[in-house]
Structure 1
C-alpha cells in the first residue's frame, strides 16, 4: 500500500513538473517595449530611431527554450527619431518606403539557450519587402508575477547588428553607415483572460 502511495505521489509530482514546463504565451506590452535602431551619419553623429510594436507575442519555455518563439509586427507609422523631418525622410522611397511597405516583421525560427539567462534567437526579419535571417542575442531580465498587474510577466533585452543594404535600403552608403545596430527591451505578460481561464 505504501508503494502504491509513493507511485501516486510520484505521478502527481511528475504531472506538476510537466505542467510548469509547458510553454507560456506572453503578449508584449507596447508601453514598455522599445525597438531602437542606430546608425552613423557621415562620422559625426549616431542618430537613433524607435519603432513601436504593433503586435508582439513571446512563447517562452524556461525548461526547454527550443520550444520558445517570437512573433513581432513593427508599424513604420510609429517610427520616431524625435526629429519630424528625419522621420518623414526615413519613410520615403529612398529609405524604408513606408507607403509601399508599411510594416516590418520578425518571426523566430529557432531559440537556443546559451547558459544562464542568455539566448540566441534566430528568425526571419522582413524589411522593405525583403526577408533575411538574423540572430538576436537575448537576455532574460526577470520572470515572475508583475507586482502591479498580478499576472505572469517576463522581461527581455536583445541586441543585433544588421546591414541595411541586405534589405534593399542601402541609400547613401558609406556616408550613412550600412551597419545598423539594434537594441530591444520589452516586457510581456500573460493576457488576463488567459490567466482567468487557467484558474
Structure 2
C-alpha cells in the first residue's frame, strides 16, 4: 500500500513538473518596462530617450527556449526625452514622422539559448515604416511568483545596437550619431484569469 502511495506521489510531482515546463504566456507590464535608446550629439553628449511600452506579450518556454517568442508595440506618443521641444522635434517628418508612423514594433523570429540565463533574440523591428532584422542580447533576471501580485512573473534585460539610417532616419548624420544603443528592461505577469486555469 505504501508503495502505491509513493508511486501516486511521484506521479503528482511528475505532473507538476511537466505543467511548470509548459510554455507560459506573460503580459508585459508598461509600468515596469523601459525601452531606452541613446545617440551621440555632435560629440558633446549622449542623450537618452524612453519609448514607453504600449502592449507586449512574452511566451517563455523554459524547457525549449527556441519555442519562446516576444511581440511588442511602442507608441511614439509615449516618447520621452525629458525635453519637451526635443520630444516634439523627434516626432516630426525629418525623424520618426509620428503622425504617419505612430508606432514602433518588434516581433521575434528566433530565440537562441546561450546558457546561464542568456539568450539571443532575433526579430523584425519596424520603425518609420521600414522593417529590418535586429538581434537583442537578453538576460533572464528572475522568474517565479510575484510577491505582491500573487501570480507568476518574469523579468528580462536586453541590449542592442543599430543604425537609424537603416530605417530612413538619417537626419544630421554623421554630426548626430547614426549608431543607436538600445537598452531594455521589462517584466511581465501571467494575467490572473489565465493563472487560475
When the two structures are superposed, what TM-score results if normalisation uses the length of structure 2? 0.94
**Where in structure 1 do 4 or more consecutive aligned residues deviate above 6 Å?**
1-10
The residue correspondences of 1:33-112 to structure 2 (distance < 5 A) are 33-112=33-112
Aligned to 1:20: 20
- The unaligned stretches of length 5 or more in structure 2 are none
In the alignment, the residues of structure 1 paired with residue 142 and residue 68 of structure 2 have an alpha-carbon distance, to the nearest angstrom, of: 16
- The unaligned stretches of length 5 or more in structure 1 are none
Q: 2:163 matched to 1:163?
A: yes
- Secondary structure in 2 matching 1:105: strand
User: How many pairs does the alignment contain?
Assistant: 197
In the alignment, the residues of structure 1 paired with residue 20 and residue 90 of structure 2 have an alpha-carbon distance, to the nearest angstrom, of: 45
In the alignment, the residues of structure 2 paired with residue 89 and residue 79 of structure 1 have an alpha-carbon distance, to the nearest angstrom, of: 11
Q: What is the Cα deviation at residue 19 of structure 1?
A: 1.8
Q: What is the Cα deviation at residue 34 of structure 1?
A: 0.3
Q: What is the Cα deviation at residue 93 of structure 1?
A: 0.3
In the alignment, the residues of structure 2 paired with residue 151 and residue 20 of structure 1 have an alpha-carbon distance, to the nearest angstrom, of: 13
Q: What is the Cα deviation at residue 55 of structure 1?
A: 0.5
Q: 2:185 matched to 1:185?
A: yes
- Across the aligned residues of Structure 1 and Structure 2, the Cα RMSD in angstroms comes to 1.8
Q: What is the Cα deviation at residue 14 of structure 1?
A: 4.4
In the alignment, the residues of structure 2 paired with residue 161 and residue 174 of structure 1 have an alpha-carbon distance, to the nearest angstrom, of: 16
Q: Deviations over 1:112-134 (max 9, x none)?
A: 10111101110000000000000
Q: What is the Cα deviation at residue 17 of structure 1?
A: 3.0
Q: What is the Cα deviation at residue 64 of structure 1?
A: 1.0
- Secondary structure in 1 matching 2:62: coil
Q: 2:139 matched to 1:139?
A: yes
Q: What is the Cα deviation at residue 8 of structure 1?
A: 6.8
In the alignment, the residues of structure 1 paired with residue 11 and residue 64 of structure 2 have an alpha-carbon distance, to the nearest angstrom, of: 21
In the alignment, the residues of structure 1 paired with residue 97 and residue 33 of structure 2 have an alpha-carbon distance, to the nearest angstrom, of: 24
In the alignment, the residues of structure 2 paired with residue 10 and residue 81 of structure 1 have an alpha-carbon distance, to the nearest angstrom, of: 55
When the two structures are superposed, what TM-score results if normalisation uses the length of structure 1? 0.93
In the alignment, the residues of structure 1 paired with residue 95 and residue 43 of structure 2 have an alpha-carbon distance, to the nearest angstrom, of: 19
Q: Deviations over 1:100-121 (max 9, x none)?
A: 0000000000111011110111
